[in-house]
Chain A
Amino acid sequence: MSEERIQSEKMEIFLKGLWKDNPVFVMLLGMCPVLAVTNSVINAVVMGVATLAVLTLSNLLISSLRKLIPGQVRIATYILIIATFVTVADYAIKAASLEVHKALGAFISLIVVNCIILGRAEAFASKNSIGKSVLDGLGMGLGFTLALLLLGSVREILGNGSFAGIDLFGPNFQPLTLMILPGGAFFVLGSYLLLFNWFKHRKEKEQRELEAVTFYTGEATR
């Protein structure tokens, strides 16, 4: 493989988590934190960054140990590794800010059972090189953080009239309280999915039309 192709392949691995295989909007993975902690921007970002860190580090370790871990015990080993990094993240957040740790509550510990992390370990890190696995973890983690941020900002702006704790509309704002209740998460996620699918649908349609045109012209010139 030429140098250029390797570069573009790496780019591809990194970018697919952001858009094409976005864990939230495309794969619909890890719905528990997506719905539960996106009621404010700060909560959403901290959750996203914690997941990003755990995902990248566990991908790194799993990928470097992939030749040593026997297939029979791989799931148990992956969970052990993931749980370790989650515990580390938990302590780190607690040391950094007690307030944020309290706001997130049990959901930090629940990163362990976030299916994105085990999913990437099993599907990617266990059969790819260390560099690629780290890139994959970063991409997926960033995609996840981005999705949480998108949900969190809509919910906080509409539901509380503020962004990251900064009041936007003054004291007379009538908030759409539903948006910060659990039900609002479903409304916002549903709307985003609608938007994403609409985009995808339109792009596919354009693609098909383009193909049809080339097919037709190809036929004509023959």
Chain B
Amino acid sequence: MSETTQAPVETPQINSSRLLMAMGSVGFIAGILIVFTFQFTLPIIKANEKAYLDQSIFEVVPNTAYKKVFTPDKNGVLTPIAEDSEEPYKIFACYDKEHKLTGVVVEASGQGFQDVIRLIYGYDPQKQAVIGMKVLQSTETPGLGDKIITDAKFLSNFAHLDVSLDESGERLKAPITLIKGPRENDHQISAITGATISSRAVTRMIARSTAINIPLIYKNLKVLEEAGNE
């Protein structure tokens, strides 16, 4: 490995304009390359992301024909926004072919075992329950933490997760909690054996998000239902 030890012979006197020229031209080539790739891949990436989100939403709320995007304004009223809006706080209302509201999808994110977990869950206003959950992004340990994506028993928790509101309409009747072993009530999530930290992270994210979003959706239910007819 003698080749690694010796540095190229440096010419002692070089004026700085040549250095600038060299760096500048390399930077120019680099810039062109990056801009070119970016322009080329951007539509593909956007389309990929949109297809992925659409597919996930339809998985979480079945019988969905189309969806509309809303965001809460200052007074806590949900207002429609464009689908590709940059607004980070998005709530997706899903409708079937008869323009009836089938469910509402909310995105939640939080710290997992290794990195941020992003997920969506579907809420059915009729049943007053969460009816589906899908993890969009996670870097949990394969075979262990990633059971939050693959484990059928864990996912079945979210097929019917009770989030009904109390009389005031401001709070959940019972907060969502994690339990080790089989669930006793509909508002409990049964943890995955051996992946308690990831299960706890998912539970915490959903508990926090439902506590804020379910009352908001409930208050705006009329708005969402009417929007389907437009």
Interface residues of A (CB under 8 A from B): 21, 27, 39-40, 61, 65, 68-74, 76-77, 80-81, 83-85, 87-88, 91-92, 94-95, 98, 102-103, 105, 119, 122-124, 126-127, 156, 159-160, 175, 177, 180-181
Instruction: Pick from B14-22, B100-108, B124-132 the stretch touching chain A.
Output: B14-22
Query: Distance (Å) between the CB of A132 and the closest chain B CB?
Result: 12
Interface contact B41-A91, CB-CB below 8 Å: yes
Total residue contacts A-B, CB cutoff 8 A: 95
Interface contact A71-B26, CB-CB below 8 Å: no
Interface contact B22-A102, CB-CB below 8 Å: no
State the interface size on chain B (CB cutoff 8 A): 37
For residue B44, CB closer than 8 A to chain A, the reply is yes
| CB within 8 Å of A: which B1-41 residues | 1, 3-4, 7-11, 14, 18-19, 22-23, 25-27, 29-30, 33-34, 37-38, 41
Query: CB within 8 A of A69: which of B22, B33, B48?
Result: B22
- Please judge, given known A-B contacts A83-B30, A159-B143, whether A73 and B19 are in contact too, CB under 8 Å: yes
Interface contact A21-B142, CB-CB below 8 Å: no
Interface contact B45-A95, CB-CB below 8 Å: yes
Interface residues of B (CB under 8 A from A): 1, 3-4, 7-11, 14, 18-19, 22-23, 25-27, 29-30, 33-34, 37-38, 41, 44-45, 48-49, 52, 115, 137-139, 141-144, 194
Interface contact A87-B37, CB-CB below 8 Å: yes
Query: Distance (Å) between the CB of B25 and the closest chain A CB?
Result: 8
Closest 6 CB pairs of A and B: A71-B10, A84-B30, A160-B143, A95-B41, A95-B44, A91-B41
What are 6 A-B contacts defined by CB distance under 8 Å? A68-B25, A87-B34, A88-B34, A102-B137, A175-B143, A180-B144
A72 cross-chain contacts in B, Cβ below 8 A: 10, 14, 19
Query: Distance (Å) between the CB of B74 and the closest chain A CB?
Result: 34
A156 cross-chain contacts in B, Cβ below 8 A: 142
Interface contact B23-A73, CB-CB below 8 Å: yes
Interface contact B23-A77, CB-CB below 8 Å: yes
Interface contact A88-B49, CB-CB below 8 Å: no
